[in-house]
Amino acid sequence: MTSATPHRQGPQRGRRWLAVAALVTAPLVSLAPLTAVPAAADTADPTERLDDLRSDIDAILEDPALEGATSGVVVTDADTGEVLYSRDADTRLLPASNIKAFTGAAALEVLGADYTFETEAVVERRPGRGDVPELYLVGGGDPTLAETDLDAIAADVAASGVTSVGDLYADDSWFDDQRLVDDWWPEDEPYAYSAQISALTVAHGERFNTGVTEVTVTAGAQGNPVSVDLGAADGYVELDNRAVTGPAGGVSSLVVDRPVGTNTIEVTGSLPADAGPLVALRTVDDPAGLAGHLFAQALEDNGVAVKGEVARGEVPGEWHRPRVVAEHSSMPLGEVLVPLMKFSNNGHAEMLVKSIGREIAGEGSWEAGLAALEKALQQVGVDTSDLVLNDGSGLSRGNWVTANTVVDLLDSVQDASWYEVWHHSLPVAGERDPWVGGTLAARMGGTAAEGAAQAKTGTMTGVSALSGYVQGPDGAELYFSVVNNDHTGAAPRHVQDAIVVRLAEYLGNQAPAGTFTQREAGSGPGNGELECSWELTC
């Protein structure tokens, strides 16, 4: 049985998202009711209250946004195990990013919350000082390896006595060389949510987006070309800039692309002369190559000359006792899970799958990782008979799950030693700080669910899901899963939110007086076909 408030950890290593978690640990306060529903959980006949709940969820699911759609919905009482509501609960549906809840749980089960990812700089032999003919930057699957970390590694290389390097190689052989899942849409490849997966990749920004560069486009004088800054990938990717500056007050038609099969950032269209800079995250081809490029710069900045080529390569197997001259350990997996789950980071999830495969089978591949992931879930107690996995992020349309399987996961993880770490990583409804609310930061604020619901979102074209927990002020808790498939138009987030708010009210939570109704609250930011974090709107 869990507590009435979300599980939280105290601050660790100064990480902002751990420190701000304290904002949501206060007990739920008494709030005025949102709509005409039972005023409190203990003032009506239990049978009548449950009948009313079921009728209300039925009514919510009649929303026109779900016309022609299939919705798997399950609500379970955490204390008794009673199924309070069920519709199409055993129908296999596409889960979108709800699959990350399974991936995160399996990673904690296999690797442990304290697991760290190692990155090393390696030379052939001792003493390995002065001018070394070859130096290898060896990736260990770190999803959070930043440019500052590469600089620290380079400084340690210099401190070890290395003054110059012949050839510099980026070694990402910890994982296999399959960069993308077989059924990911090629047209998604330029975008951060579909970045190539590599054991050696550089993470951008505080949310640690891997395999990308930040492209900034700035208008010039009308009729002149725009200015393009390629960010970290400057000098690594090519630039094809055919965009022009349009008249002030005009409409932007700017497009920033990376055509499939190229390592070229293509900028077309126009940007009004009075427009502010446009910033876009775009993927690069071969993230390990970018890591090698940036590491070469870091070595030069720290006084280590790079005389030869910078390329991809694997530490030679015939080397006898190679020397590690510098190394970097990532933050613990328990901390990595926060940006992964809060912001639905696809690259992180896939790197965890391959890390699981490497740990269990000695093979950093999707095939090995997904097989080990399923076995780990079974060890936790999850019935995986209706679970089909084709990736770890949910971007694949070859994943299948039932609402019952999701709720089974929510229940089974309760007894795991790492449960609080996993629970802490879930987005929290209505909490505006993105490191707490994540993809739910702009959803259900000002309702009975604010701060009382923690759940994983999931959104793709025609697919939307929300699954997690709702707590009541007296310690009662519900598990829920809502998986919508085959709807047209924007994701039916308002339907999911209305169900969760109704569950919060059923438990006795109330909303502030005079707040908007759930329908007026809307369906959250973005275009409704992607996770809001992928669109940089939350």
Catalytic residues: 97, 100, 344
**What six digits make up the tokens of 312?**
């991809």
Rg for the chain, CA atoms, rounded: 25
Contact 387, 105 (CB under 8 A): no
**What six digits make up the tokens of 100?**
């990350």
Contact 131, 425 (CB under 8 A): no
Contact 410, 469 (CB under 8 A): yes
Contact 326, 156 (CB under 8 A): yes
Specify the residue for token string 């055919």: 242
Q: In whole angstroms, give the CA distance from residue 523 to residue 516.
A: 13
**177-211: b (≥16 Cβ within 10 Å) or e:** eebbbeebeeebbbbbbbbbbbbbbbbbeebbbbb
Residue 185: what residue type?
W
Query: Could you tell me how many helices (H) and strands (E) the chain has, helices first?
Result: 13, 21
Residue 466: phi and psi, rounded to 5, are -150, 125
Q: Which residues neighbour 450 within 8 Å (Cβ) at sequence distance 6 or greater?
A: 429, 430, 431, 444, 511
